[in-house]
Structure 1
Amino acid sequence: MTTSTTPLVDLLRSRYSVRKFLPTPMSAADIRGVLEDAQTSPSNSNTQPWAVHVVSGAARDAISGGMLRAHEEGRTSSDFTFGYGDGLYASRAQHHGATLYEALGVARSDVEGRNDVVRDNLRFYGAPHAAFLFMPLLGDGVRTAGDIGMYAQTFLLSLTARGFHGIPQTILGMYADVVREVLGVPEELKLLFGISFGTADPAAKVNELRMHRLPMEQSVVFHDEPAWGRG
């Protein structure tokens, strides 16, 4: 029976989402290394459907500015529907929001404070880089989106392994038209979400936040349970 951990297990359990970055850019070699790692991700029939646009500098600033203007004008342009229903998953999302706002010191009644949190999202939490994950709409899109999710996880783990951090942000996908216009991305590619990434700010209290994960037993059902402890 295996009792010791491996570097991969340590890596998996040390990854977390950063919500305050230092402005220091990563080197081109480091970014390329992360992207090459992510390129090894599995996909359905090896279709490798990810189309990834990485922005830094002026391109990053142009997209952030466009999203902020759209937000202030109440304009969104999601390529996919969004919601949690009204049951279990909505409850989990609400708990996540309450935990985050509490960590940020933003009261439920503080409308402007909550709006500032949204703006911070659209500024990439100060990260010097962001990756936008586009996909072709094949069939109903579900399998393709699953492939993009595996790509994103590999991307995030590679960042962590190299001493950097990232955060996947659904909200960035809510301004797909802004991103497409700035980057010249064709309409047939749909924006699923974005990842802000760089170096975590070690002095930011919000980066001490670790979100709760459910016990495995609440997500997994065993059939013909393996004989743990035998052999």
Structure 2
Amino acid sequence: MPPTATSFTDIARSRRSVRRFLPDPLSPTVIRGVLEDAQTAPSNCNVQPWTVHIVSGAVRDTLSKELLKADEEELVSSDFTFDYADFGEGTYLERAHSQAATVYQAMGIPRSDRTARKTAARENLNFYGAPHVAFLFMPAFGDGVRVAGDIGMYAQNFLLSLTARGLGGVPQTMLGLYADTVREVLDIPQDLKLLFGISFGTADQTASINSFRMGRVPLEQNVVLHETPGVLDKR
């Protein structure tokens, strides 16, 4: 039976980014199911441009070690730019700062403790303890914007499928900052570009970092209506 609108709403609105996982690996059947759900994502001209590498076990541990080493040696090799300065001085930067403050507060790390913040950030490279990681690669078509949009839709399907199964995941831009390291360990050709990764598994419900919900701004800040009355009326 197809899922109802109510069940989809529950899944979509309960999804959150998990930042501490139990080490227990998921079954092959579960992982395949998530991948099959993700595969239904739409894409421009149906080119389905995603190439997804699932990393587990000893390869996962080796890759984590190499990523941490690259971070220590400042060997950044991002295929796509990322800089907080690009957010400007307004709304987007304020939202980014609010997100960081919320995460560090949940971890009990004060703003002034830069060492603890760096250590916490490096947990990205240990995949927050997750037993599995999905690395999302894309071909370089044109300026890459449409392809990246396709990858985003694939990733959202992936994350919602995890949520529907009582599991968790977290999309991680930081994993994309070390694209050459990932390609070298996984033997991936240079013409595939790493957008980001998703660590996934079973959430550790006892971890304080998983105890909060990241807020969203009101619809009025993102949506402009044209001849569509009543949608944004107060309820």
TM-score (norm 1): 0.95
Secondary structure of 2:19 counterpart: coil
2-structure distance, mates of 1:104, 1:202: 14
2-structure distance, mates of 1:181, 1:38: 26
Matched with 2:94 is 91
**Cα-to-partner distance string for 1:53-106 (whole Å, 9 max, x where unaligned):** 000011111111111001111111100011243222112111111111111111
Secondary structure of 2:87 counterpart: coil
**Cα-to-partner distance string for 1:86-135 (whole Å, 9 max, x where unaligned):** 22211211111111111111111212201111221110000000000000
Matched with 1:74 is 74
Q: CA deviation at 1:6?
A: 1.0
For structure 2, the residue ranges without an aligned partner over 5 or more in a row are none
Matched with 1:196 is 199
Q: CA deviation at 1:227?
A: 5.7
1-structure distance, mates of 2:221, 2:230: 20
**Cα-to-partner distance string for 1:145-196 (whole Å, 9 max, x where unaligned):** 0000000000000001111110000000001011000111100000000000
Matched with 2:16 is 16
Matched with 1:112 is 115
* Range that drifts further, 21-30 or 105-114: 105-114
TM-score (norm 2): 0.93
Confirm whether residue 149 of structure 1 aligns to residue 148 of structure 2: no
What CA RMSD, in Å, does the superposition of the two structures yield over aligned residues?
A: 1.4
Q: CA deviation at 1:5?
A: 5.8
Matched with 1:167 is 170
What's the % identity of the aligned pairs? 62
Secondary structure of 1:182 counterpart: helix
* Range that drifts further, 124-133 or 72-81: 72-81
Q: CA deviation at 1:222?
A: 0.2
**Cα-to-partner distance string for 1:6-63 (whole Å, 9 max, x where unaligned):** 1001110011110100000000110010001100000001010000000001111111
2-structure distance, mates of 1:197, 1:85: 28
Q: Is the 8 A contact 2:170 2:198 kept in 1?
A: yes
2-structure distance, mates of 1:199, 1:205: 15
The number of aligned residues is 226
1-structure distance, mates of 2:115, 2:125: 15
Secondary structure of 1:123 counterpart: helix
Q: Is the 8 A contact 2:106 2:211 kept in 1?
A: no
Q: Is the 8 A contact 2:133 2:198 kept in 1?
A: yes
1-structure distance, mates of 2:41, 2:5: 23
For structure 1, the residue ranges without an aligned partner over 5 or more in a row are none
Matched with 1:180 is 183
**1:208 counterpart letter in structure 2:** S
Secondary structure of 1:6 counterpart: helix
Secondary structure of 2:55 counterpart: strand
2-structure distance, mates of 1:227, 1:35: 38
2-structure distance, mates of 1:175, 1:48: 24
